[in-house]
A = this chain, B = another copy of it.
Amino acid sequence: MSKPAKAQDATWIWYPGDFEVRLHEKASTWRRARGVAYPAYWRLDRHYSNVKFRYVYDLPQEETIRIAAEGRFSLYLDGRDNSRTDRSEITLPAGRHEIAVSVFNDTEIPALYVSGDRIRSGPSWEATSYQNEWVAAGAWTFDAPEAGPSTFRLSVAPQDPVASEIRGGHALLDFGRETFGYLRFHDLSGDGEARIYYGESLSEALSPEACVTVDRFDAGAAATRSVEGLYTVEEGKAFRYVWIHADPGVRWEKVSMLYEFVPVTYRSAFECDDAKLTEIYEMSLYTLHLNTREFFLDGIKRDRWVWCGDAYQAFLMNYYSFFDLDVTRRTLVALRGKDPLTTHINTILDYSMYWFVSLYDYYLYTGDFAFIRQCYGRAVSLMAFCLKQLNAEGLIEGRPQDWVFVDWADLDNTGAVSTEQILLARSLEAMAKFAALMGEDDDAAAYAAQAEEIKAATLRLFWDETQGGLLHHRVAGETKPLMTKHAGMFAMTYDYLTPAQRESVIRNVLLNPDVPDIRTPYMRFHELATLCESGEHDYVRREMLSYWGGMIALGATTFWEEYDPKLADDAHYGMYGMPFGKSLCHAWGAGPIYLIGKYFIGVKPLTPGYGTFAVEPHLGGLTWFKGTVPIAGGEAEVDMNKARIRVRATRGGGLLRYREGGADKEIPIPDDGRWTEVEWHERA
């Protein structure tokens, strides 16, 4: 008798979304302000502690299964809930039966692992939180019975400092560039205290009274916790420099660190004749990578929190670099959290809407409908929550308790803010798309109609012919004369303007020195993308060189939360009233990944999951570049100079678009990875 063919391997399962919710709850409490807890200031949702799993099998013969659980479990068959077992090995009877397993765990998520010849836990099992719902169980890559989801942690690798010296009698270490991880003391001995002052900048590390993160430990106690002669500090930190003050009796052989990271693959590349721009691209990748963690963080020193507006951009950058969908999905699930909705995501009105737009982008770049389906119910309720805030004119307004953010700038965001209307229209378009995918055609039509209404109302009520752009806000039925760049940018990005309006926004708003400058990389991201959409690649290249290049000139090894070239010396490091309050490794600083990938290398999906896609490269003032961008399951590569374009892709559906002889050209890109080459000539 031959053994039956192996079914799919067993994997740990849980209530879908709860892995992310629990991880987010923990990660949102890791921020420290000078060693003191600084948890996120929004409601942190929690996993269900009481969960049941079920699976119906039909076995030709009895089978012995092994059961592991994180939490206290009990198993019963065919609804006989008074006949339960919690043995780790049982024999299932042949025939058709329903297995039910209840698992309770109030510290980590209730999780289950069942393995037999044919019966194996996996996403084909269902889960309930006892709310009359049975949903496909959550699962990921936890395939070993001894390593359930509670054992999850990021990867680590030891690293040594690149330089060390004694400064003011204390060890000062330089790890060469911004990093994240756990300091390690080798052969720690003696009695007394050690105090560690961390710095993203040298100045910060050398400021014991003002540096943002610190550590402190008792050497004697720490030595007893050493493993193979190594004491690793408990909490990970963001830093480049550390200055270690220790009491006289404390000794160590050396200090190194355990770098902590997500092992992403760098699937994009960019090289060009301008070494500075190449460097900006690479530093952007590293900046994004450091912030690509359990979730996409805003910054690794501060806030170490998951902000939806920041994540929206990180998602886009990620599609043009690592294409790591795990961290994207984790972030989207964590941000949405659970019901009931009482506040907006991160307390910010715009941030609720970036969630829809981000989910829309996710579908466009990946084509992953299963994830949309998983999120759909919570998307519907979030949209219902947003739409409760429409005013009498049908425009969305912040409630008194809402934060209407738009940008770090001195903006008056009272009343109905035009940017919020544009984001809502786009969110409704996203909902229309999701509803259609779900087969909810009536809802799709209703969402689409409401999107059109809000778009039309916004252009009618905010467009100012004299100034040639969208005004900022409307209070009590009166549009105020203030002009800002934000609404115009988003309206262009989402293609809500006529060609004449687009042209006017470019000239009269974005490139108009009288309209207030945008100073955060956060909104520069959108501003520069918009300018690329309008063919201003050369301008954007020069802006990248001056803005991001400016940070490099000041010694940056990752890009910052904010940069104002007018500041002097250490004043660059201050923010929020703290001399070193600024985050020097901020995800939104990595925007060049997206700008270069989407607008210079020029790759973008035309249909979901790169089923079809365009490659529309631009030199933008460069002499040549070579670039690679991930396209879902493969890569597209471009090699361009002033005379010719070469392109290849590892999958079909690609179209090379370029201009030659004053005409738009479009040719298909082979699906087998072979190079295609065309001639072209830059216009004089």
- CA of A37 to CA of B104, assembled, Å: 9
Closest Cβ of chain B to A216, distance in Å, is 12
Contacts of A576 in B (CB 8 A): 82
* CB 8 Å contact bits of A44-79 with B (1 = contact, 0 = none): 101011101000000000000000000011100000
- CA of A81 to CA of B129, assembled, Å: 37
Is A8 in the interface zone, CB < 8 Å from B? no
CB atoms of B82 and A33 under 8 A apart:
yes
CB atoms of A37 and B102 under 8 A apart:
yes
Is A549 in the interface zone, CB < 8 Å from B? no
- CA of A535 to CA of B588, assembled, Å: 78
CB atoms of A340 and B340 under 8 A apart:
yes
Contacts of A347 in B (CB 8 A): 130
Is A635 in the interface zone, CB < 8 Å from B? no
Contact of A106 among B25, B41, B104, B130 (CB under 8 A): B25
CB atoms of B50 and A81 under 8 A apart:
no
CB atoms of A102 and B39 under 8 A apart:
yes
CB atoms of A104 and B39 under 8 A apart:
yes
Closest Cβ of chain B to A34, distance in Å, is 7
Contacts of A85 in B (CB 8 A): 36
CB atoms of B581 and A401 under 8 A apart:
no
Q: How many copies does the complex hold?
A: 2
A400 and chain B: residue at smallest CB distance: B132
Contacts of A170 in B (CB 8 A): none
CB atoms of A131 and B86 under 8 A apart:
no
Is A676 in the interface zone, CB < 8 Å from B? no
Contacts of A81 in B (CB 8 A): 33, 38
CB-contacts of A1-48 with B (<8 A) = 25-26, 28-29, 33-44, 46, 48
Contacts of A131 in B (CB 8 A): 43, 342-343
Contacts of A49 in B (CB 8 A): 25, 44, 46
Contact of A37 among B41, B84, B343 (CB under 8 A): B84
Contact of A339 among B38, B72, B133, B340 (CB under 8 A): B340
Whether A42 contacts B130 in the complex (CB less than 8 A), given A25-B106, A50-B28, comes out as yes
CB atoms of B36 and A104 under 8 A apart:
no
A44 and chain B: residue at smallest CB distance: B50
Whether A37 contacts B340 in the complex (CB less than 8 A), given A46-B106, A50-B29, A130-B43, comes out as no
Closest Cβ of chain B to A294, distance in Å, is 15
- CA of A150 to CA of B577, assembled, Å: 38
Interface centre among A35, A52, A73, A130 (most CB of B within 10 A): A130
Contacts of A46 in B (CB 8 A): 46, 49, 106
Closest Cβ of chain B to A92, distance in Å, is 17
Is A578 in the interface zone, CB < 8 Å from B? yes
Is A623 in the interface zone, CB < 8 Å from B? no
- CA of A84 to CA of B129, assembled, Å: 38
- CA of A29 to CA of B130, assembled, Å: 14
Closest Cβ of chain B to A215, distance in Å, is 14
Is A107 in the interface zone, CB < 8 Å from B? yes
Contacts of A35 in B (CB 8 A): 86
- CA of A246 to CA of B130, assembled, Å: 39
CB atoms of A82 and B577 under 8 A apart:
yes
Whether A343 contacts B132 in the complex (CB less than 8 A), given A82-B33, A82-B577, A581-B82, comes out as yes
Contacts of A106 in B (CB 8 A): 25-26, 46, 107
A578 and chain B: residue at smallest CB distance: B82
- CA of A25 to CA of B41, assembled, Å: 25
A102 and chain B: residue at smallest CB distance: B39
CB atoms of A36 and B84 under 8 A apart:
yes
A50 and chain B: residue at smallest CB distance: B44
Whether A84 contacts B340 in the complex (CB less than 8 A), given A39-B104, A40-B50, A42-B130, comes out as no
CB-contacts of A121-141 with B (<8 A) = 129-133
Contacts of A83 in B (CB 8 A): 33
* CB 8 Å contact bits of A228-264 with B (1 = contact, 0 = none): 0000000000000000000000000000000000000
CB-contacts of A401-418 with B (<8 A) = 401
CB atoms of B41 and A130 under 8 A apart:
yes
CB-contacts of A265-279 with B (<8 A) = none
- CA of A523 to CA of B410, assembled, Å: 67
A81 and chain B: residue at smallest CB distance: B38
Interface centre among A25, A36, A49 (most CB of B within 10 A): A36
- CA of A74 to CA of B38, assembled, Å: 7
Contacts of A48 in B (CB 8 A): 43-44
Contacts of A44 in B (CB 8 A): 48-50, 130
Closest Cβ of chain B to A85, distance in Å, is 6
Contact of A130 among B33, B38, B343 (CB under 8 A): B343
Whether A43 contacts B50 in the complex (CB less than 8 A), given A131-B342, A343-B130, comes out as yes
Contact of A36 among B26, B74, B129 (CB under 8 A): B74
- CA of A131 to CA of B581, assembled, Å: 26
- CA of A316 to CA of B38, assembled, Å: 46
Closest Cβ of chain B to A285, distance in Å, is 31
What are 30 A-B residue pairs whose CB atoms fall within 8 Å in the complex? A25-B106, A29-B50, A33-B74, A34-B84, A36-B74, A36-B84, A37-B72, A37-B73, A37-B84, A37-B102, A37-B104, A38-B74, A38-B82, A38-B84, A41-B52, A41-B130, A42-B130, A43-B50, A43-B131, A44-B130, A46-B106, A82-B581, A107-B107, A130-B347, A131-B342, A131-B343, A133-B342, A339-B339, A339-B340, A340-B340
7 nearest interchain CB pairs? Answer: A132-B401, A36-B84, A131-B342, A44-B50, A340-B340, A339-B340, A36-B74
Question: What is the interface of chain A, defined by CB distance below 8 A to chain B?
Answer: 25-26, 28-29, 33-44, 46, 48-50, 52, 72-74, 81-86, 102, 104, 106-107, 129-133, 339-340, 342-343, 347, 401, 576-578, 581
Other contacts beyond A36-B85, A43-B50, A133-B342: 10, CB < 8 A? A25-B50, A25-B106, A35-B86, A36-B84, A37-B86, A37-B102, A38-B84, A43-B130, A132-B343, A339-B339
